[in-house]
Amino acid sequence: MLLKLAWLNIWRNKRRTIITATSVFFAVLLAIIFRSLTEGVYDNMIHNVVSYSSGYLQVHQKGYWDEQSIDNTFKEDEQLYQELLKNPNVTHIMPRLQTFALASYGEKTRGVLVLGIDPVKEKAVNNLHEKITDGQYIETVNDNAVVLGEGLASQLKLKVNDTLVLLGQGYHASSAAAKFRVKGLMKLGAIELNNSVVYMPLQQSQYMHGAEGRLTSVSVMLDKTTDLEKLKQSIQESIDPEKYEVMTWKEMMPEMDQFIEADSTGHYIIIGVLYFVISFGLFGTLLMMIFERKHELGILIAIGMKKHLLAIILLLESAMISLIGCFTGVIAGFLVIKWFSAYPIHFTGELKEVYENYGIESIIYFSSHEKIFIVQTLIVLLLSILLAFYPGYKVMKLKPVEAINS
């Protein structure tokens, strides 16, 4: 009975209902967009950073992380690749042999990071070939050439087609030394990497280190929205735990995780203020509704309606309106985010340049985790229902005679 009364009431004055529902609608929409945007910025940053460095997850020989030496490598294993790629969230895998060596050209010698990569797989993940500023990218796993960061090249004073000498430690204490033609120079976003990296086809690197068919790690790239911990679990279960260790980027780069943690704490405060503005908008609408209906409410009480029943009806009305607003808000939020995921906003001008210099895609990326939709809607719903107690409270204090005369 009360439910029906409330339902009829909200449609008696459509305009008012629509206005209030719109407030809730925009509250939900804005909260979702805000969260999606802030989460999206992190997702995008993480995605870009890990695609050049560790990948979202890495599989190593057990014990490699604690002692990163070439002796802790494992044999390339087609079965492991299959096992990893079987997971639907895994988009790419990148086998790598990562070592430290001295690089010489002429009189100059520098310590460098030697990354033995599969050029084709790497290119698919981070568009490495587009970073080439001079010369060419390495094409296949056995191309006898290297590509290095511009910063390193200028320190060594070498150009494309010069010959680079690498000297390092090989597998089982053998010595690794070889000469390579420099096929291309590339500009990488991260300065440290730009000043110290030598990319080389995987097989060449394995041959030079006397570690044929061996890898230090397999990097795993995932869909941006994947639940990292869960996936780590499932990968760990599918491969031999005695032989391999699986690590997430959070474990390998704790400083980035901490930075994000620190930054997102600040966002809680910001979104708190947004909720405040939103609830005030809603409150204003409810307040106006009460002014408007004073006369009507007064008459209802005068003809014998119990005050607390009336309060409950008002509460039900607000709850219904909030539900309508929330529901449409979620749908609209979903559509907006779908739209922006399909047609992302690109930065322009100076900022675009700055971002691209850092190797970060210059787009504003919106995250579409289900969590955002659910949590934000619930919060707004809770806020609007809390606020809906106010009209009820007003009714309890209403003096019918004054109200009718107002």
Partner 1 sequence: MLFQIAWRNIWRNKSRSLVVISSIIIGVWAGIFILSFAWGMYKNNINESVYRQLSHIQIHHPTFGEENDSKFTITNTDEKLKQFQSNAQIASVSSRVISTGMITSPTTASGVKIYGINPASEVTQIRLNEYVREGAYFETGKENEILIGEKLAKKLKVKLKSKVVLTFTNTEAEIISGAFRIGGLYRSKNISLDEVNVYVQQEHLRELLELKPSESNEIAILVKDEEQLEAIKNYSRTVVSKGKIEDWKELSPELGMIIESFNLYTYIISGIILLALTFGIINTMLMSVLERIRELGMLMAIGLNKSKIFIMIMLETFYLTVIGCPIGLLVGWLTVTVLGKTGINLSMFSEGLASYGFSSIIYPALDQEKYVIIVTMCLITAILSAIYPAYKALQLNPSEAIRKI
- Residue numbers at the binding site for partner 1 (CB under 8 A): 15-16, 19-20, 22-23, 26-27, 30, 33-34, 37, 67-69, 100, 102, 107, 109-111, 154-155, 157, 192, 195-196, 254-255, 258, 261-263, 265-266, 268-270, 273-274, 276-278, 280-281, 283-285, 287-289, 291-292, 347, 350-351, 354-355, 357-358
Query: What does the block give as tokens for 259?
Result: 């930075």
Residue 205 one-letter amino acid = S
| Residue number, 129 or 209, with CB nearest to partner 1 | 209
Number of neighbouring beta carbons within 10 Å of residue 146: 25
| Residue number, 69 or 144, with CB nearest to partner 1 | 69
| Residue number, 270 or 378, with CB nearest to partner 1 | 270
Distances (CA, A) of 133 to 52, 64, 159, 160, 379: 17, 34, 11, 10, 50
Closest to 256 (Cα-Cα) out of 29, 50, 83: 50
| Residue number, 4 or 15, with CB nearest to partner 1 | 15
Distances (CA, A) of 250 to 90, 256, 288: 17, 7, 50
**Sequence-distant (≥ 6) Cβ neighbours of residue 224 within 8 angstroms:** 43, 44, 47, 365, 367
CA distance 279 to 327: 17
| Residue number, 3 or 299, with CB nearest to partner 1 | 299
The nearest distance, CB 89 to partner 1, in angstroms, is: 27
Number of neighbouring beta carbons within 10 Å of residue 226: 17
| Residue number, 116 or 151, with CB nearest to partner 1 | 151
| Residue number, 120 or 339, with CB nearest to partner 1 | 339
SS3 27: helix
The nearest distance, CB 7 to partner 1, in angstroms, is: 22
Closest to 49 (Cα-Cα) out of 290, 271, 219: 219
The nearest distance, CB 51 to partner 1, in angstroms, is: 18
The nearest distance, CB 336 to partner 1, in angstroms, is: 12
Query: What does the block give as tokens for 105?
Result: 């050209």
| Residue number, 212 or 292, with CB nearest to partner 1 | 292
Closest to 171 (Cα-Cα) out of 211, 214, 202, 212: 211
The nearest distance, CB 238 to partner 1, in angstroms, is: 30
Closest to 56 (Cα-Cα) out of 82, 92, 96, 100: 92
The nearest distance, CB 216 to partner 1, in angstroms, is: 14
The nearest distance, CB 305 to partner 1, in angstroms, is: 19
| Residue number, 63 or 111, with CB nearest to partner 1 | 111
Q: What share of residues in the chain are helix, strand, coil (percent, to 5)? A: 60, 20, 20
| Residue number, 277 or 396, with CB nearest to partner 1 | 277
Distances (CA, A) of 204 to 140, 145, 176: 10, 8, 11
The nearest distance, CB 266 to partner 1, in angstroms, is: 5
| Residue number, 140 or 406, with CB nearest to partner 1 | 406
The nearest distance, CB 86 to partner 1, in angstroms, is: 34
The nearest distance, CB 223 to partner 1, in angstroms, is: 25
The nearest distance, CB 41 to partner 1, in angstroms, is: 9
Angle at 242 between CA 238 and CA 247, to 5 degrees: 65
Number of neighbouring beta carbons within 10 Å of residue 105: 19
CA distance 276 to 60: 48
SS3 160: coil
Closest to 122 (Cα-Cα) out of 55, 73, 68, 67: 55
